[in-house]
């Protein structure tokens, strides 16, 4: 098989990978594992889908998924995965099995002859590096929302049966907690930083996010040190890379590990008592004010 092979267990991300794949080679083949709906969704985007049904493979078990994709990646030079948490784990395992080079968190690329020049954050997000895989095969994990989802088309589904086993035994799969928010998908984010006085203030901040039709997100210390919000809501290098239409940042200083996760937002509003906060330099609108007053005012006016 020539061309590009793409895989994500999430349809929205797999559709983005199809667009990315077509920028490399017109011949894009997708993989779906134990998921007929995913296979149909991908075929409706105009690609050939290899649909694997194998009870022994759990998509949460990246070792088993890597074995499946290795079997299907025969003549393929490039495999594209999503650079979400599971995709990044899979990328390393798959690259090791294929003897391929591997790049994760790739936000864009340029095809130059037979090389794919990938742009990705480096030095903790302080810069964007261009890197090229020099081995024959490459596994590239693409950051969510870096490419538009593929439009409709007429593809096909080929059922594939594979004898794959894993050394990992999945004992239990638990549904995510009730706070299974997807801040990467949100069009509006209201981000709570350490400038927020207390956990009680989050009630007003949540009300504001709701009025704006968005979600509450936070900086890392708000989740990991103060434990006011779940780690699912952290924006930045150790959290999520978000590209909302609007980001309202409340009491966020703007350290690079945070800004890397929000700098691609279309409009950034920073509310900070410190007029020299670094976040202000990256923002479209700056309010030098107490965030608690601003939240109260906005809630009463909206």
Ligand X SMILES: Cc1cc2nc3c(=O)[nH]c(=O)nc-3n(C[C@H](O)[C@H](O)[C@H](O)COP(=O)(O)OP(=O)(O)OC[C@H]3O[C@@H](n4cnc5c(N)ncnc54)[C@H](O)[C@@H]3O)c2cc1C
Binding site for ligand X (CB under 6 A): 193-195, 219-222, 234-239, 251-253, 255, 257-258, 271-274, 277, 290-292
CB proximity list for 198: less than 8 A, separation 6 or greater:
none
DSSP label at 60? T
Instruction: Name the nearest CA neighbour of 148 among 249, 287, 19, 260.
Output: 19
Q: Which is nearer to ligand X, 164 or 271 (CB)?
A: 271
Minimum distance of ligand X from residue 214's CB (angstroms): 18
Which of 150, 248 has the CB closer to ligand X? Answer: 248
Cβ proximity of 223 and 261 under 8 Å: no
Nearer to ligand X, 66 or 234 (CB): 234
Alpha helices in 55-198 (DSSP H): 62-72, 85-98
By beta-carbon proximity to ligand X, the closer residue of 155 and 239 is: 239
Buried b (16+ CB within 10 A) or exposed e, 283-299: beebbeeebbebbeebe
**Of 152, 151, 31, which Cα lies nearest the Cα of 80?**
31
| Minimum CB distance to ligand X, residue 267 (Å) | 19
Q: Which is nearer to ligand X, 3 or 261 (CB)?
A: 261
CB of 241 to ligand X, least distance (A): 9
For the CB of residue 292, give the shortest distance to ligand X in the complex, in Å.
Answer: 6
The CB-of-234 to ligand X minimum distance in angstroms stands at 5
**Using the 8-state DSSP alphabet, how is residue 234 labeled?**
B
Do the strands 138-142 and 48-52 form a parallel or antiparallel pair, or are they unpaired?
Answer: unpaired
């Amino acid at each position: 098989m020539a061309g590009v092979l793409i895989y994500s267990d999430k349809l929205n991300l797999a559709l983005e990978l199809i667009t990315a794949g077509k920028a490399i080679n017109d011949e894009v083949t997708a993989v779906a594992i134990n998921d007929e709906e995913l296979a149909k969704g991908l075929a409706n985007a105009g690609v050939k889908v290899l649909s694997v049904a194998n009870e022994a493979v759990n998509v949460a078990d990246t070792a088993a998924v890597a074995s499946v994709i290795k079997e299907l990646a025969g003549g393929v030079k490039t495999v594209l995965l999503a650079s979400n948490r599971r995709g990044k784990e899979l990328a390393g395992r798959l690259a090791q099995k294929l003897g391929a080079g591997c790049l994760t968190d790739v936000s864009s690329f340029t095809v130059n002859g037979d090389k794919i020049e990938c742009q990705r954050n480096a030095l903790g997000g302080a810069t964007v590096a261009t890197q090229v895989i020099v081995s024959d095969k490459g596994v590239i994990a693409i950051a969510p929302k870096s490419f538009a989802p593929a439009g409709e088309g007429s593809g096909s589904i080929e059922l594939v049966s594979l004898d794959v086993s894993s050394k990992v035994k999945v004992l239990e799969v638990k549904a995510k907690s009730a706070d299974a928010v997807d801040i990467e998908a949100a069009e509006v984010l209201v981000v709570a930083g350490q400038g927020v006085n207390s956990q009680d203030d989050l009630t007003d901040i949540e009300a504001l996010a709701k009025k704006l039709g968005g979600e509450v997100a936070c900086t890392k210390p708000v989740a990991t040190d103060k434990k006011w919000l779940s780690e699912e809501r952290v924006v930045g290098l150790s959290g999520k890379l978000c590209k909302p239409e609007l980001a309202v940042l409340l009491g966020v200083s703007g350290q690079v590990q945070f800004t890397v996760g929000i700098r691609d937002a279309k409009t950034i509003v920073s509310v900070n008592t410190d007029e020299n906060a670094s976040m202000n330099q990256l923002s479209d609108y700056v309010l030098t004010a107490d965030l608690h007053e601003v939240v109260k005012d906005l809630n009463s006016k909206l």
